Amino acid sequence: MPINYEQLMALKNLGQKYAYTDREVMLYAYGIGMGADPMDEKELAYVNEGTFTPRPLKVVPTFASVAAWGSNPGEMNLNRVMVVDGERDITFHKPLPSAARITADSTVLDVFDKGKDKGAVIRHQTVLKDENGEKLATLVASRFARGDGGFGGPSEGQPEPHQVPSRAPDQIVDITTRPDQALVYRLCGDRNPLHSDPEFAKKAGFPRPILHGMCTYGITCRGVLQTYADYDPSAFKQHAARFSSPVYPGETVTMELWKDGNVVSFEAKVKSRGVTVIKSGKTVLG
């Protein structure tokens, strides 16, 4: 069924109620690979609350992407097999607590028609608020619906991607993923079989299940945390990235980072296959 542009643009879903505990916070951190070294105290602060000397559990900033998993503006009636994440941009208004009751307000921002054989891009926004109605984070998500183009909507007007510097990277970090990482990360909410079912992955055009784009997004947050943020989640004001190619669980993600003032630009590659998996990455620290 083709996209109905007017109906899609009118979608909104306000006041969606969610709650999470430290269990979900730690599962997310573990799902993006933190705690691989059980003696690394900086990463243990995100995955272990049971310490001899009490300390607050830290929350990975991009946990915001799963804190209200399932929140959305409404049913979009897209070809699910052909839908992948396009971009994610989160603005952090205040640090996320390690447990909370929150609400989510979701609306559609834009719908772009790339053509019948090129798909559609849907941008939607979700604002997370605490129990007092104060904003915690604003998430802008871009979905690339590869099988839903040609509905006659606008094709121009997408925001320009962030440009990374042309100079050599200021830092390069390698972050390994586990062969079973997608099976762990899916427990954070995204049960799409593209990441767990070999048969489904093949029908979607992949030789085997791929890592969630949002897991790769979280991995890039790890990269900034360990290089320029001194593992301080409160330093993050914005984290944005564009997904350009999938990661297969077990591969090593190589991040290239550039720092200019309070802006960290980044890209991520899988060198073993010669592909760039994240483009136009931008973190604002403050």
Active-site annotation, residues: 190, 195
Q: How many residues does the chain have?
A: 286
Report the candidate in 91, 43, 13 with the shortest Cα–Cα distance to residue 226: 43
- For residues 3 and 120, is the Cβ–Cβ distance under 8 A? yes
Cα atoms in the 13 Å half-sphere on the side-chain side of 115: 2
User: From CA 206, how far away is CA 195, in angstroms rounded?
Assistant: 10
Burial class (CB in 10 A: 0-12, 13-18, 19+), 210: buried
Q: Write out the two tokens for 67.
A: 């804190």
DSSP-based three-state secondary structure for 277: strand
User: From CA 170, how far away is CA 125, in angstroms rounded?
Assistant: 32
